[in-house]
Structure formats: structure tokens, C-alpha cells
Amino acid sequence: MSQTLQALAEFTAARLIGDGSIEISKVASLALTGPGDLVFVESDRHLEEALNSQASAVIAGDFAAGSAGRKPLLISKRPRLAFATAAKLLYPRTIHPSGIHPSAVVDSSAKVAPTAGVGALAVIEANAVIGERSFIASGCHIGEAVVIGDDCEVYPRVVIYPGTTIGRRVVVHAGAVLGSDGFGFVRDETYGRYVKFPQVGRLVIGDYVEIGANCTIDRGALDETVIGPGTKFDNLVHIGHNSSIGANVVIAAQTGISGSCTIGDDCLLGGQVGLGDHAAIEAGAILGGQAGVLPNKTIRGKGVVYWGTPVKPVREYLKELATLTRLTRKAGK
């Protein structure tokens, strides 16, 4: 959806330098640009490459203002954010068709909003609620008494277990399983076998959450598993039962969160991070890739980066790694 550069400047609150009537049709990387493209740079290191590219305009910081006249510019304090905001205008949200596909199976007690859409071969069980303009894609299974808010997108073959509640504008990508039983067993020493602990709680997902493909989020055992508003999960993330994830948390792929963990608001977790049961990550902490947090451990420090297993502040971790390297070299001589 093409937009003038002037419209993009207003939408992103950026300062326009150059011809605002130029039409921008899409965003692009520096490696693949063409006429009508918009690119961004966050430092002067790549500015020359952007100015020499075929892109029609560049989003950059104040460092680029001196290059006025070479190519139209949008000047922003946060070029990457402005670029992402511009993309929202250039690529508006898909409007999914409303109505229920003839092959879908919808229980008579379910409430599907008139503006909602239900795809082929989807199943919606008793007393489920699907909000206005939400879309349930083909092959999804929506369990009994599930509540899905307005403007949600649930992509193919998602399974949502009974009793799960999902807020507004939530995106669930293909193959995710939400609200399944948690992994809880009690050993019967008499017979040497495991007895399943009750998994009868709920899963509550807040507004503006995005859940990647093939994620799994367990419901609470007796209470609730809670995912806070604005939180984003990459593909292949697992959240164990009774865990509480705060608002605006970002979790990268292949991360595993054990049961009864707590993650505060605004935390960042890299890929393949692992948390033992009852671990707590306080608000704003950052865990680097493959960091491991032991059971019952509390990690605190807004903006502090942690790394390694067991996890340590990154400076401490790198210092210990350097010491180990020196000792290894000495031992090899």
C-alpha cells in the first residue's frame, strides 16, 4: 500500500528532508533495494551505502542531516523504530473474511461474533466465545469455554484447550498449543510408579500478545498460568504450568520455562534460555542465549545482562571465562 514520504514522516513523527511527494511502496534491506523502497541505518557506518542504493528514501538519525540533497531523508532519534512504524502503514493488517466456512464444526452454544471468521475444518466447542473481527484459520481446534477477544488472529492448526482466555489483538501462529496439561507427577513409592498431579487450572493471555509457531503454553495445575500484555514469543518456546510472565517480555526461540516461574515486566530472554522450576527473573533483566537459571534462583537487576550456566552477570561470566582460558593455556605448556 503505497504512501507518500510526507505521510510516512507524519505517521512516524520523523523530520522530513527532501521531496515529500515521493511514493514509497515497501520497506527493504540495504542488500536488496529498488525504486520505491524505504531503508534505514542506525549509524553513519552504513549511511554511504544507503545513500548510494536504489532506495527512494532513507530513515536515519541526526548524523545523516548533513547529507541533505543526496537522497530524501526521514530523521528520527530511533531509526529502527521509525522504520518498523512505517512498515505498519505500508503493510496494513490483513482483513480476514468474516463468516463460518461450511466445513467448520461450531457447537450451537458457541458465540461467534458476526464479523469474525472461521476457516475450513476448524472446530469450535461448546460455550466458546470468538470476538469481533477475530479470525480462526483452517484446522484449528478451540476447546470448550475458550474466550478469544476482538481482533485476534489464530493461524492454522492451533489447538486451544478448554478454559483458556485470550485478550484482544493477540496473534497465535501455526501449530501452537495453548492450555495443555502441565508436566506434574507424584511418585508412588509403594508401586514404583508416577501418579499425575491435577492439571485443572487455567491459562490467561493478555492483550497484544504474539505467540510464535509451535509454541506450547501449559495451563495452571490448580491456579493460573498468566501471560502479560504486549509480550512476544518467538517460535518453539515452552512455558510450564503456574508460570507468570509479565508485560512486554520478549522470549527468543527454543527457550524453556519450567513450572511456577515468574518473569517480570520488560525482561528479554535470548534463544535456548532455560529456567528451573520456581525461578524468578525480576523486571528488566536480560538473559543472553543459552543462559541457565537454577531452580528457586532469583535474578534481579534492570538492564543487567546475564549469561552462562549457572547464570552470572555477563562481566563476571567473561572474566571467569578469560581466567579459565589462561589457566588452560598454562596447563598445556
Catalytic residue among 141, 173, 238, 241: 241
CA 308 from centroid of its chain's CA atoms: 23
Report the distance separating Cα 281 and Cα 274, nearest Å.
12
Burial (0-12, 13-18, 19+ Cβ within 10 Å), 95: exposed
Backbone angles phi, psi at 119, to 5 degrees: -80, 180
Burial (0-12, 13-18, 19+ Cβ within 10 Å), 279: buried
Total length of the chain: 333
Collapsing DSSP to helix, strand or coil, 326 comes out as helix
Q: Is 278 a catalytic residue?
A: no
Report the distance separating Cα 86 and Cα 7, nearest Å.
9
CA 143 from centroid of its chain's CA atoms: 23
Are 71 and 51 in contact by the 8 Å Cβ rule? The answer is: yes
Q: Which three cell numbers stand for residue 119?
A: 476457516
DSSP string, 78-145: SHHHHHHHHHHHHSPPP-PPPEE-TT-EE-TT-EE-TT-EE-TT-EE-TT-EE-TT-EE-TT-EE-TT
Other C-beta atoms within 10 Å of 72: how many? 21
Report the distance separating Cα 63 and Cα 145, nearest Å.
55
Catalytically active residues, by annotation: 241
